[in-house]
A = this chain, B = another copy of it.
């Protein structure tokens, strides 16, 4: 099955390879360059650290066995100030090494020999994992309730809700922290703004109005719960409702 586009490889990343084997570096450099990335190579740990400090790569491929300085040492050192992901790379397949590598702060570990495509996939996954830190989802879904923030719209099972601005802000504030209790102060900060101070009872009123909109639907009244003495909690489960139980048995093997 072919996917249309792959946004992760659409952009180019700066990759630093710290590896002393010239054959491997050549292969890696070639393959990664073909992916559109910008590759820098350092052939020993000290040089790698220097290059990392000056170029700030998006990801580092780090050989475990290096001349002079052990790869683990390099990793530990880099981790102190660099938050780019580090992918350990080694000929050793012993699990102690894998574990030691991960313990020391590596984010992934690949043993040679490896398949280039897998390495690339892991690189992309690592970058995606560290880069896409909270893109602030535009669409919040919880069961039958769907809120599209950019459109300022909220739907409950195909029925459009009429939410006033304040109500809307409070709802998405609650949904963003789904499951957790939001104090009135927190909700006020979200819906009114940082410095603005109003009567906290206003929150109650708006919550009531939201509830009124959700009423009539199954479980609608339970979506926003009151936690006495603390605040309110959106207790719906995030994500769309799972597919029906029966239906298709797909992809089943064995």
Contacts and interface: CB of A to CB of B under 8 A. Distances in A.
A98 interface: yes
Contacts of A227: 152
B165 A252 contact: no
A98 B121 contact: yes
Contacts of A99: 117-118, 120-121
Contacts of A65: 253-254
B95 A115 contact: yes
Contacts of A238: 53, 81-82
A56 B239 contact: no
Contacts of A72: 251
Interface residues of A, number: 73
Contact of A242 (B49, B108, B130, B179): B49
A121 B107 contact: no
Which of A85, A141, A152 has the most B CB atoms < 10 Å from its CB? A152
Interface string A28-62: 00000000000000000010011001101000000
A80 B239 contact: yes
A155 interface: no
Which of A73, A121, A165 has the most B CB atoms < 10 Å from its CB? A121
A122 interface: yes
B239 A67 contact: no
Interface of A: 3, 6, 8, 46, 49-50, 53-54, 56, 65-70, 72-73, 77-78, 80-83, 85, 95, 98-99, 102-103, 106-109, 115, 117-118, 120-122, 124-125, 129-130, 134, 137, 141, 150-152, 164-165, 179-181, 227-230, 233, 237-240, 242-243, 245, 248-254
26 contacts: A8-B103, A46-B242, A54-B237, A67-B252, A68-B250, A69-B250, A81-B137, A81-B141, A81-B238, A81-B239, A82-B239, A83-B134, A95-B117, A95-B118, A98-B121, A102-B125, A103-B121, A108-B108, A108-B125, A109-B122, A150-B180, A151-B180, A151-B181, A152-B227, A152-B230, A164-B229
